[in-house]
Structure 1
Amino acid sequence: MRSEHQNLLLFGTYSVCGALVFVGAKLGMPDVPPLLFAALRLDIAGVALVAAAGWRLDYWRPRTRRDLLGVLVVGVFTLGVMNAVLFAGQQHVTSALGAIAYSFMPVLTTGFAILLLPTASLDRVDALGILLGFVGVGIVARPSTTALHADRVLGFGLMLGSVAIFAFGTVLTQRVEPAIPRLSLTAWGVVLAAVVNHGIASVFGHPLTAIAWTPTAVAGVLVESLLATAILYAVHFELIDRIGPARTSLTFYLQPIVAAPLGLVLFDTRLATVSLVGFLVIFTGFALIERRVLFDSVRSAT
């Protein structure tokens, strides 16, 4: 298979698995409490990713203080607290709306990079792109809605909080500069994040006995842990090595397109027109920030 066809296949796989993060979460709840769902997702994925890192890489265990610090940032913050907040919010919003919240990720990551990384810079067009991203989020959230939709506003706010945690943690990990390969870093980070999420679930009084192991709960946990975590991260690193992080981030804009029809078929939930408008505004902001990457991609394709 030609390299560009492999990249396209990986890109499509990543987009689908990314959308399944939100679909799988809705599938398993409310039979599995959100905080326990986040922990179980990471339990299974952590075992699979550590096994994959040990099989593929010689450098699969942390060796330096920077490696350990990187694992600590990823495990406690980037994936640990982030997953708890993500699942707490996902119970209140549709899978498509959750995916739209995560389409804000590339814009927010750029903002944190400008603040934290000495090599990052901001021009007027970049600033306009970041501003449009916030405007798009405001359109989707619609904070002026009535109390009838308070849960939806709360859920979307929690989803945005998880996006901010993930984006900040990602940039902070770049600042730490661990030498360990990205797959190994994430594998051990997922294992640590599983411990963190079990601790959070315990603090909030959610024992494992609270889980009702229905067929849909089992399906949701398996989809979430294997497809939407283990395979998602494995493909993520492969894509970054092949096409770079900027082009890889374009998958965040395909995920709502995949999640919306799946949500309609599985849960009979429809995406509001105003949410679609907000998503398009967010994408416009991203296009302004990554205009050079998009131009190069179109030029190479033609």
Structure 2
Amino acid sequence: MSPPSPPSSSAPSPATSSATSPVRSTFGDVLPLLFVAVWSTGFIGAKFGLPDAEPLTFLSWRYAAVIVLMLPVVLLLRAPWPASRAACGHIAVTGLLVHGVYLGGVFTAISHGLPAGITALVVGLQPLVTALGARAFLGERIGRMQWVGLALGFVGVGLVVAQKVATVAGAAVLTMLVPAVIALLGITAGTLYQKKFCPSFDLRTGSIIQFVPTLIATVAVAAMTETLQVRWTGHFVFALAWLVLVLSIGAVSLLNLLIRRGSAVNVASLFYLTPPTTALIAWALFGETLTGLSMVGMALAAVGVWLARRVSGK
């Protein structure tokens, strides 16, 4: 009788482990860059869509489209829902802050005439504000070099948008700043809240939980402040499709993954790269001017993000 064969093991062989580890490492390295590239295209939606719809009306259609697209996916794939009502509540609050307050503030500011450069500069404060909040709210320790990186990043963003900011003057800008500041507070609070209370959840069901209350709140405010009218031009349809598929589904999923994997400060520091990336896209697609000062700012922003993220190796 031949001896019994040794039992098979479910553990991966060393060869398999060594093969998959570089893949995971590469994905982790590419994920932040992919997020920045995708998130930075959000200006396309504002550029093409806002002339045909008021900001909250535009966002309401965007949120509704995401729900319509994601709900069949959730049902067909039987994606898992959160285990408790409390978990659902935390995810919903995150959605209201990140989508409702942040996007509502940004779109309202731009639609009321605040230049995109100033909007980017205000929202560009987010990594610094998040760092302060992460220290108090999450107990994250922030090293000296991280603070240096955050400061360099903000200076870099300021240089990138300096030309556009310099062309705007007048007291009216101060009133336009209010929704931009609200947007800053929304994205900061949303990042911190998600990291503390719901860092990990299924992205498919999570999107439904986030966008349903956000849609209800946005429609309610839009009904009181806007006409709810839309001109269904080709530009508007393109902008809506882009924002739904690329931003609300693609970029937001990447953001949730980043929050799950890294510290709040590391995630927030990536937002320093969005104004420079947006400027590059605008230069390539629309022929907008890139000055030498802007190029210096891009370099400073990149160095700042590298320093802010290098400390913890994320």
User: TM-score, with normalisation over the residues of structure 2?
Assistant: 0.72
**Structure 2 gap segments, 5+ residues each:** 1-19
The equivalent of 2:311 in structure 1 is 292
1:174 is aligned with what amino acid? Answer: K
State the Cα distance separating 1:201 from its structure 2 match. Answer: 0.9
Q: Which residue of 2 aligns with 1:252?
A: 271
**CA deviation after TM superposition for structure 1 residue 229, in Å:** 1.0
From 168, 179, 185, the equivalent of 2:206 is 185
Which residue number in structure 2 is paired with residue 72 of structure 1? 92
Please give the residue correspondences for 1:145-184 in structure 2 after superposition, counting only pairs within 5 Å.
Answer: 148=169, 158-177=179-198, 180-181=201-202, 183-184=204-205
The equivalent residue for 2:57 is 36
SS in 1 for 2:40: helix
Measured at CA, do residues 122 and 257 of structure 1 come closer, stay the same or move farther in structure 2, by a change above 3 Å? closer
Counterpart in 2 of 1:300? none
CA distance in 2, matches of 1:264, 1:224: 20
Distance in 2 (CA, whole Å) between partners of 1:198 and 1:175 is: 28
Q: CA deviation at 1:212?
A: 1.2
Give the whole-Å Cα distance in 2 for the aligned partners of 1:240 and 1:169.
Answer: 11
Does structure 2 retain, via aligned residues, the 8 Å contact 1:113–1:120?
yes
How far 1:72 moved relative to its partner?
3.5
State the structure with bigger RCO (CA 8 A, min sep 6), 1 or 2: 1
Give the deviation of 1:152 after TM superposition: 6.2
Q: Deviations over 1:93-143 (max 9, x none)?
A: 5666655655544443222111211x3234444444555556566665799
| Residue 211, structure 1, aligned to residue 199, structure 2 | no
Q: CA deviation at 1:20?
A: 1.9
Query: Does the C-alpha gap of structure 1 residues 102 and 56 become closer, same or farther in structure 2, counting only changes over 3 Å?
Result: farther
Given residue 225 of structure 1, which amino acid in structure 2 is its aligned partner? V
Change (3 A) 1:143 1:257: closer
1:82 aligns with 2:102: yes
1:250/1:135 Cα in 2 relative to 1: closer, same or farther (>3 Å)? closer
Q: Which amino acid aligns with 1:252?
A: F
- Pairing 1:1-302 to 2, within 5 Å after superposition: 2-3=23-24, 6=27, 11=32, 13-54=34-75, 58-60=79-81, 62-91=82-111, 92=113, 102-117=123-138, 119-132=139-152, 140=161, 148=169, 158-177=179-198, 180-181=201-202, 183-207=204-228, 210-238=229-257, 251-264=270-283, 267-270=286-289, 283-293=302-312, 296=313
Using a 3 Å threshold, how does the CA distance of structure 1 residues 18 and 123 change in structure 2: closer, same or farther?
Answer: closer
Which structure has the bigger radius of gyration?
2
Aligned residue pairs total 291
1:244 deviation in Å?
7.6
For residue 271 of structure 2, what is the amino acid of its counterpart? F
Change (3 A) 1:39 1:104: same
Alpha carbons of structure 1 residues 159 and 205: separation in structure 2 relative to 1, 3 Å: closer
Amino acid at match of 1:33: E
Report the identity percentage.
Answer: 22
Cα distance 1:152–1:137, how it changes in 2: closer, same or farther (>3 A)?
farther
CA distance in 2, matches of 1:199, 1:281: 42
Single out whichever of 16-25 and 214-223 deviates more from structure 2: 16-25
- The TM-score, its normalising length taken from structure 1, stands at 0.74
**Counterpart Cα distance in 2 of 1:242 and 1:290:** 13
